[in-house]
A and B are shown apart, each in its own frame.
Chain A
Amino acid sequence: MKFIEKIKDINHNLSLRALAVLYRNFLAWLKIYKPSIIGDVLEPLLFLAALGLGVGKFIHNIDGISYIEFIVPGIIASSSMYAAAFESTFGSYTRMVTYRTFEAILLTPVTVEEIVLGEIFWGTSKAFMSGIAVLIVGLVFGWIISPLALFIPVFILLNGAIFSSLSLLITSFSPSYDFFSYYFTIAISTMFLFSGVFYPVSSLPHILSYFVFVMPLYYSVHVMRLLDLGILSPAIFYYFIILSFISIILFYLTAFFIRKRVIK
C-alpha cells in the first residue's frame, strides 16, 4: 500500500508547470541547435545511406522488399532511441549535477516530479525530431511502402518517452558521466544491433531470440515495420498498450529515484 501512496504523492506533485521546464530546455537548445542537429538528424541518415545503399547492393530483397526499405522503419526507431538516450543521460546529468539547473528550478514552486516530466517531454521531443527526419527522407526518396506509415509518429513519441524515461532513470543513479558507458554499451548498442533494425530477428540463433523479447526497441521496430508494410494487425494495438504501459511505469520509477537523488 506504501507503493500506492508513493504514486499518489507523485501525481499530487504534477502540473502543466512541467511545460516551463520543457520550454527552458528548448530555449537553451536554440542557442546550440546546429551541432545538435548534426548528431540527431544527420547521423541516422548516414547509417541509412551507408547500409541501405552500400550493403543493400548485395541484398536483393528481404521479406520481399529492398534492403533500404527494410531498414527505414528500424532506423526511425533506433535514431529516436539514440536521441532520447543522449539527451536524458548526458544532457539531463549536466543540468542536474554540473550546472545545478534542477536545484535552481526547485527554488521555485516547480516540483521534482514536474522537472522529471519536463525532462522526459524534452528527451521525447529530441527523439521525435530525429525519427521524423528519417521518416521524411524515406518519404521523399520513395522508401516508405504504405500510407499507414503516417501513424509511425505516434510510435516515435512512445519510443522516445520510453528511452527518455529509462535514460533519466539511469541518470538518477549515475555518479559521473563515465557511468553512462555501461548503459550505452550494454543496453543501447545491444538493442541497436539485435532488435531487428538491420535483419529480421528470426534469423538469430533460437536461444538469442528470447533476449530480443525483453528489449523495448524490438517492439518499436516491429510495430513501425508493420505500419510501413501496411499490415493492419491487432499486434499494433497491443504494442501501443504495452509500450504506453512501459513508459508510464518508467516515469514513476524515474520520478521516485530522481527525487531521492536531489532532495536530501
Chain B
Amino acid sequence: MDIIQIENLSKKFDGFAALNNVSFNITRGDFFGLIGPNGAGKTTLLRILYSMVVPSSGNIRIKGLDLRKDYKKIKYILGIVPQDDNLDADLSVLDNLTIYSMYFGLSKKESLKRSEELLGFFDLSDRRNSKVMDLSGGLRRRLMIARALINNPEIIMLDEPTSGLDPEYRHNIWNKLVLLNKEGSTILMSTHYMEEAERLFKNMVILNHGEIVVRGKTEDITRNKKSLEEIFLDIARK
C-alpha cells in the first residue's frame, strides 16, 4: 500500500520554481531516498511534506489523508528530523524529549518511559542531564533523531541526517535507521552521500532543478550503468 502519494507537486518561491510537477509514491515499509545536487528541491519537498511550506499546486496524501486538510492528524504519525539543528538549547537532554512528548499529548508516565527508552537506544542515557549546548555535533544529531521518535511514528522523515558527521557517528546512525526500518517504520530520507544512498535506500528518486530525473529501485538504477556517484555527477553537470 502507498503510504505517501505525491501528485503533480509544484512550488514556486517568488517566481523561482523550486519543484516542478513532481509525482511519486512511497510504499509502507520502504526505505526511500531523495537524492540530488544542492538546490535540487529535496529540502523543499520534505518541508512541504511536514507542512512548513505550502505547495503552489498538487496533491499529497499521507496514509490516505489529505495533507492540506488533515495536516494536524498527519503530524501524529510523522517523526521529523530537519536539516538544521533546532534542539531546545535552553533545556537538558531529557527535557528536550519530555517537552516534545507534551506537544504530542503524551501523559507524563508514557513520556518518561518513552524518553528513557530512546536515550538507551541512542546511547545517550548517561548524558540525560547535560545541557544540549554541551553535546558534540554527533550526539546532538542522535538526540534530534531520538526526539523525532518520541511519538512512535509510522513514517520517519530525515533531511540529510548524517551530513558533517564523522564515519563512526554516521555508521551508528545508519545502523539505527536500518533497525527502525526492519521494525516496520517507513523511512524517507535525503542525502548527498552516494555511498550512503546505495547502502540504505531500497527505492529512490533523483531530483535536479526541481524535477525528477531518475526513479526506481536502487539496484536497478545502478545495475547496468556505473556507480551511483557517476550517475549523480552526470546529472549534476547537466
Contacts and interface: CB of A to CB of B under 8 A. Distances in A.
Interface string A90-112: 00000000011101111111110
A105 B100 CA distance: 8
Interface residues of A, number: 24
A57 interface: no
Nearest to B76: A109
Contacts, number: 71
A263 interface: yes
A6 interface: no
B53 interface: yes
B53 A23 contact: no
A109 B72 contact: yes
For chain B, give the interface size range: 20 to 34
A28 interface: yes
B184 to A, nearest CB: 21
A27 B86 contact: no
Nearest to A19: B102
A20 B75 contact: no
A17 interface: yes
Interface string A5-25: 000000001000100100110
Nearest to A107: B80
Nearest to B131: A31
Nearest to B95: A27
Interface of B: 13, 47, 50-54, 72-73, 75-76, 78, 80, 82, 84-91, 95, 99-100, 102-105, 148, 151
15 contacts: A13-B72, A23-B102, A27-B91, A27-B99, A28-B88, A31-B91, A32-B90, A100-B84, A101-B86, A104-B88, A104-B100, A109-B75, A109-B76, A262-B52, A264-B54
